Amino acid sequence: MSLFIERAGHGPLPLVLIHGWAMHGGVFAPLVEAMAAHCTLYLVDLPGHGHSRDCTLPLEPAVCAQAIVERTPPAAWLGWSLGGLVALEGALDHPGHVRALTMLCATPRFVRDADWPGGDPDTLARLARDLREDYRGTLERFLALEAMGSDDPAAELRHLRALAFARGEPDPRVLEEGIGLLGRTDLRPALARLTVPSLWIAGRRDRLVPPAAMRRAAQAGHGRFVEIAHAGHAPFLGHAERVAAALRPFLEGAAAA
Q: Catalogue the active-site residues.
A: 81, 206, 233
Question: 148 — phi, psi (to 5°)?
Answer: -60, 140
Q: Are 75 and 96 spatial neighbours (Cβ–Cβ below 8 Å)?
A: no
CA 248 to each of CA 2, 36, 125, 207: distance values in angstroms, whole numbers, following the listed order = 31, 11, 37, 26
Q: List b or e across 31-44, with b for residues whose CB sees 16 or more CB atoms inside 10 angstroms.
A: bbebbeebbbbbbb
